[in-house]
Chain A
C-alpha cells in the first residue's frame, strides 16, 4: 500500500506538467495544477496509511 501511494505521487506531478503544456488559459491551467497537487496529497495519504498499517503489525 505504501508503494502504491508512492507511485501515485509522480502521477500527480505529471498531471501538473500536462496542465502547463495543454492549457494556455490561466483558469483551466490553475485548476489542473491544483488537481495534480491534490493527487499527490492523495498518494501521500495512502503511503502514510500503508506505513501505519505495517507499523501496527510490527509493534513489539
Chain B
C-alpha cells in the first residue's frame, strides 16, 4: 500500500483520518442550514441526516456493488484494443466486507462517506421547497445509480483511472479528494434538482430584479466553515493515502495545499465582494472559503502549495461572480450556491490539477474526466430525477412553502419563540 510507512501504520492513520472526515459533511450541513430561512432550519438539518442515512443504505444495498469497491467481475467493453471498464458488478459489501483486504475496506469506508457528502448537496440547493421524502428519494437514486458509476470509473479501476495505462495520459484521471465524485457530481445533481423543483415562491417576480432571500444565520454559516476545514484536511489526506498511495511525508504538503487554497479563495472573495458591494459579504465569503476547499480536493495532494494558493484565488474570484450570474442572469435559485461552489469550483480544481501537473498528458486525462462528468452526470441525473418527480413530486405544495418547511413537514419550528417573517418582509 505504501513504501515509506508500514502497512499497519498507514491503515491506522487512514482509518483515523476517515473518522475525522465526516466533519466536512457536518460543516457543509451547518452552512446549508444557515443559508436557508429560519422557518425551514430544522427540516434542513434533519434532512441532511435523513439524506445521509438513505444514501448509506442505498449504497450498501446496491451502489457499492455497482461501484465494484470490493472487486468482482465488472462489465468491460473492448474498443481500440483496450478494455474499458464501465461498471463494477462486484461483491455485495454486506456479505463480503469482513473478508476483504484492509485497503479495500478503507476504500469502501471512504466511498460510504463520499456518497453522503454528494447526496446532501442537491438537498441544500432545494432548501425551502424540497419535501423531506423528495430529498431522500433523490439521495437514494444518487447513491444507488449515479455515484457508483463515477466511483467505479475514477476510484475502483474503471476506464478513467486507466487512462494513463491504456493511452499514456499522465497517471490517469486524478481525483484523490473527491472533487469529481463528490462535488461536481453533487453540484450537477443540484442543478438538475433546482431545474426540476423550480425556484422558491416569490424569488423571481414577473417584473423587476429577483427577490433577496438572505440566509437566516451567518454564525452557523461561518462556524460551519471552520468545522468543514477540519474535515477537509482529513479528507484530502485520506484520499492522498488511498488513491495516490503517497508516502506519509507527503501529507503535510497536501494539508498546507488545502489550507492555502481555502485562504486564497477567502481573500479573493472578500476582495471581490468589497469592490462589488462596498463591504465584504459574509455568506459569499463563506462560499468562497468552501470553493477553495472544493478545488483543493482535486489538486492539494498533486500540486505545489503555491499552485494551490493560485487555484484557490481563482476559485474565490469565480464564486461571487457566478453566484450572481446564476441568480440574476440565468434565473437559477440556488440558496446554498452548491452549483457554483461545488460544481464549478470542482471542475476548476480538476482542470487545474492537469494544468499544474508535471506528467505529460495529465491535462488531457483531466479534460476527458471533465467531459465524462458533464456529458453523463447532468443528463443522467436530470433524467432520473425528472422520472422521480413524476412518481413522487419533489416540491411541497404552495401552502407548505408559505408556512415554512418546519411547520409543514415537522409540525414545529427550529426557533419556536421567534416571529416568522412573511415573504413580503424580504422585498
Contact = CB atoms under 8 A, between A and B. Distances in A.
Interface stretch (B100-108, B123-131, B246-254, B362-370): B362-370
Contacts of A21: 79-80
Interface residues of A, number: 31
B318 interface: no
Chain A interface SS verdict (over half): helix
A59 B206 contact: yes
Interface string B172-203: 00000000000000000000000100110010
A40 B379 CA distance: 11
Contacts of A56: 331
A16 B80 contact: no
A6 B364 contact: no
Contact of A34 (B79, B361, B367): B367
Interface in B327-361: 330-332, 361
B411 interface: no
A9 interface: yes
A35 to B, nearest CB: 10
B205 A33 contact: no
Given A21-B79, A52-B330, A60-B205, A44 B368 contact: no
A46 to B, nearest CB: 12
A9 B364 contact: no
A54 to B, nearest CB: 9
A44 B330 contact: no
Interface string B241-270: 000000000000000000000000000000
Nearest to A48: B330
Interface string A11-39: 11110100011100010011001101100
B375 A9 contact: yes
Given A55-B204, A59-B205, A9 B379 contact: yes
Contact of B376 (A10, A20, A26, A51): A10
Interface of B: 79-80, 163, 167, 195, 198-199, 202, 204-206, 330-332, 361, 363-364, 367-368, 370-372, 374-376, 378-379, 382-383
18 contacts: A6-B378, A9-B378, A10-B375, A10-B376, A12-B371, A12-B374, A13-B371, A13-B376, A16-B375, A20-B368, A21-B80, A26-B364, A33-B367, A37-B367, A40-B371, A40-B374, A51-B195, A56-B331
Interface of A: 2, 6-7, 9-14, 16, 20-22, 26, 29-30, 33-34, 36-37, 40-41, 44, 48, 51-52, 55-56, 58-60
